[in-house]
Chains A and B, each alone.
Chain A
Amino acid sequence: MKIKVIINGEKKVLDIEPHEILLDVLRRYGYYSVRRGCDTGMCGICTVLFDGKPVPSCSVFAARADGHEITTLEGLPEAKEFAELLAEEGADQCGYCSPGLIVNTVYLKKLKIKKMDEAKIKLIGNLCRCTGYEGQHRAIAKFLGVEK
Chain B
Amino acid sequence: MLSFKSYIKPKNIKEAYDLLQNNNAEIIGGATFLRLSNRKVDLAIDLIDAGLDYIKDTEENVEIGSMVTISEFEENPILSNLFNGYLKNVAETILSFQMRNIITIGGTLYPKYGFSDLITALLVLNTDIYLYHSGKISLEEYLKTKVHKDILEKIVIKKEKLKATFHYIRNSEYDFSILNVAVSKGKKVKIAVGARPGVATLAYKAMEYLNKNGLNENNIKEAAKIAAEEIVFADDIKTSKEYRKVVCEALVRRALLEVM
Contact = CB atoms under 8 A, between A and B. Distances in A.
Interface of A: 1, 18-19, 21, 40-42, 44, 47, 50, 53-56, 59-61, 63-64, 66-68, 104, 121-126
Given A1-B7, A64-B9, A124-B174, A55 B102 contact: yes
Interface in B165-182: 173-174
Given A19-B7, A56-B99, A63-B7, 6 more contacts: A19-B4, A41-B96, A54-B98, A60-B102, A67-B49, A104-B97
B99 A64 contact: no
B149 interface: no
B97 A124 contact: yes
Contacts of A126: 96
Contacts of A19: 1-4, 7, 44
Given A41-B32, A59-B35, A64-B9, A18 B99 contact: no
Interface residues of B, number: 30
A51 to B, nearest CB: 10
A123 B102 contact: no
Contacts of A56: 96, 98-99, 102
B144 interface: no
A59 B97 contact: no
A71 B30 CA distance: 19
Contacts of B174: 42, 124
Interface string B41-53: 0001010110000
B101 interface: yes
Interface in B222-247: none
B95 interface: yes
